[in-house]
Copies of this chain bind each other. A is one copy, B any other.
Amino acid sequence: MKTISENRAFDGTQGVYSHTSKACDCDMTFGLFLPREARDGPVPVMWFLAGLTCTHENAMVKAGAQQWAAEHGIALVFPDTSPRGEGVADDAAYDLGQGAGFYVNATQAPWAPHYRMWDYVATELPALLADEFPIDPDRQSISGHSMGGHGALTLAMAHPGRYRAVSAFAPICHPTAGDWGRKQLAAYLGPDESGWAPHDATLAMRATGFDGPMLIDTGTADQFIDLLMPEALAEAIAARRQQAVMRLQPGYDHSYFFISSFMEEHVAFHAEALYE
């Protein structure tokens, strides 16, 4: 593991690190904020998965999460959104290939050799963090934006007992039914749609739900809301009687201005679950 940078932030440290990933078979970069409390021992950790076109950096510099994580004494992890590098397959479109890993393990050519973001986020990176940093693996929670909200919701539901809470900003709620999803799931996982179901938050909610609290914010002026389909997940959450808070925030759009406006409440929501 290599340290790219470390900056003092809110009396803690905002670091950026790279390492050779076995899951993705390439070098991967991630951001990690450690609060002051990490100097004294392991702290709980909140994952934040970013959306299409993002790297580890977008949420790290634009979401305004560190101030609230510092207040609650929790770490923040900002993974990249795909494998990267010269030997890694890509596509000219913004929504496929590098920057658009969709948090799945690809099985199809040319993606299968590197595009294993599901294993990377669920298995490899958590183990690295527990080995290298004062992170308490028994107190994890997860959040994300757009494609990253999709990743957070699907990972949380697929790993009972792992994440104490899940939240999402403008998540892609029903990718098997929309243009933000069908294209990518077909490319990465192939045409057999039976394998897509764990990667659709609405279908996962119908199948199992989540064993903890859930918070979802979507802006009513989100320019991509027809692709996000919050109505499908809202129906599934209520039908399952899933503990949840679903909010439609008036006038907010899909940007990081929306995310940062509600980050304080999301971090407080995670902190309550991480410290209970």
Which residues of A are in contact with B by a Cβ distance under 8 Å? 213, 218, 220, 225, 230-239, 241-250
Contacts and interface: CB of A to CB of B under 8 A. Distances in A.
Contacts of A243: 220, 248-250
Contacts of A230: 238
A225 B238 CA distance: 10
Closest 10 CB pairs of A and B: A235-B235, A231-B238, A243-B250, A231-B239, A234-B234, A234-B238, A230-B238, A220-B241, A246-B246, A245-B247
Contacts of A234: 231, 234-235, 237-238, 246
A178 to B, nearest CB: 14
Nearest to A225: B241
B249 A238 contact: no
A231 to B, nearest CB: 4
A242 to B, nearest CB: 6
Contacts of A213: 250
A167 to B, nearest CB: 13
Contact of A244 (B233, B237, B242, B247): B247
Nearest to A230: B238
Secondary structure of the A contact surface, majority rule: mixed
A248 B213 CA distance: 10
Contacts of A218: 238
A246 B250 contact: no
B239 A248 contact: no
A248 B238 CA distance: 7
A234 to B, nearest CB: 4
Given A231-B234, A245-B245, A246-B246, 17 more contacts: A218-B238, A231-B236, A231-B237, A234-B234, A234-B235, A234-B237, A234-B238, A234-B246, A235-B235, A237-B248, A238-B246, A242-B248, A243-B248, A243-B249, A243-B250, A244-B246, A245-B247
A171 to B, nearest CB: 12
